[in-house]
């Protein structure tokens, strides 16, 4: 599904005016949307749709061909002009976790022979886990990364996105870090790349902070061995 999301180009946008282009009881397709549908281990946004006759909570988002359906908590039918509202606190939580996972990913990739990611999951309680294809190691090695992660947060490094042609992305070592999954191409075929200036550059389809300093500090909560070649690192935002 090739859809360009407002949340990619305008990550701070919390309300947006648009129109319904397709509808059925309990769901709409919008001309444009700032709600992130989820993917790559990131949970979908929470939000509302408002119109002249009321409002309804968006319960989930569902991609279908080139459409993104916004499914409601109630079987209402909505037409015409509407306003979308993104739950800002939840989006901020996801952006913090996703940015911090990129920091951790960068450190592991640099320090452990280009280890690839085998799985990611962020949670609404302010924790997340990331799995790496790594042979057995002393788990204390990964716990020791915590001060370096927090140092990158304190440095307030700028985070930005660029779009790279698919052929160029395939040739650049380390741009695609997942062992099995790559971000979907944009409508023009390009790949979205998220950069933490001075630290990291990798393909990604999620939402992120504008700079690392916007995140709370993190703690490495646990490191698990999930097989001979899988290390699972769990992190949590301090104070969340």
Structural domain boundaries in the chain: 6-86, 91-237
Distance CA(95)–CA(99), nearest Å, equals 6
Indicate the pTM of the whole model: 0.93
* Helix intervals (H) in 155-212: 166-171
With a cut of 50, say whether residue 178 has pLDDT above it. yes
pLDDT given for residue 9 in this prediction: 83
Long-range CB pairs of 193-196 (<8 Å, 24+ gap) are 193/161, 193/162, 193/163, 193/164, 193/169, 194/102, 194/159, 194/160, 194/161, 195/159, 195/160, 195/161, 195/162, 196/99, 196/102, 196/103, 196/106, 196/152, 196/157, 196/158, 196/159
Percent of the chain with pLDDT over 90: 74
Residue 1's pLDDT band, with cuts at 50, 70 and 90, is very low
pLDDT per residue over 100-143, tens digit each? 999 999 999 999 888 999 999 999 999 999 999 988 678 888 99
6-86: CATH architecture: Beta Barrel (2.40)
Distance CA(202)–CA(220), nearest Å, equals 22
pLDDT per residue over 5-20, tens digit each? 889 888 889 999 999 9
Q: Mean pLDDT of all residues in the chain?
A: 92
Choice between 6 and 47, residue whose per-residue pLDDT is larger: 47
Examine domains 6-86 and 91-237 and report if their fold is the same: no
CATH of 91-237, one of 3.40.1350.10, 3.30.360.10, 3.30.980.10, 3.30.230.10: 3.30.980.10
């Amino acid at each position: 599904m090739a859809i360009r999301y407002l949340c990619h180009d305008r990550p701070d946008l919390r309300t947006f005016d648009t129109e319904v282009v397709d509808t059925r009881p309990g769901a709409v397709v919008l001309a444009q949307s700032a709600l992130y549908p989820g993917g790559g281990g990131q949970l979908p946004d929470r939000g509302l749709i408002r119109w002249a006759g009321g409002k309804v909570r968006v319960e989930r988002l569902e991609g279908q061909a080139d459409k993104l359906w916004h499914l409601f908590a109630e079987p209402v039918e909505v037409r015409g002009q509407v306003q979308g509202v993104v739950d800002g606190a939840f989006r901020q939580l996801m952006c913090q976790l996703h940015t911090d996972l990129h920091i951790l990913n960068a450190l592991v990739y640099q320090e452990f022979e280009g280890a690839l990611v085998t799985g990611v999951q962020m949670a609404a309680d302010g924790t997340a886990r990331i799995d790496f294809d790594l042979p057995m190691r002393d788990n204390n090695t990964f716990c020791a990364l915590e001060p370096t992660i927090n140092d990158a947060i304190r440095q307030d490094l700028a985070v930005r996105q660029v779009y790279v042609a698919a052929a160029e992305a395939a040739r650049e070592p380390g741009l695609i870090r997942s062992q099995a999954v790559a971000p979907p191409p944009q409508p023009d075929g390009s790949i979205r790349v998220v950069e933490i200036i001075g630290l990291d550059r990798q393909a990604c389809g999620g939402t992120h902070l504008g700079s690392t300093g916007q995140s709370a500090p993190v703690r490495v909560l646990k490191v698990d061995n999930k097989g001979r070649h899988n290390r699972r690192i769990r992190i949590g935002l301090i104070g969340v």
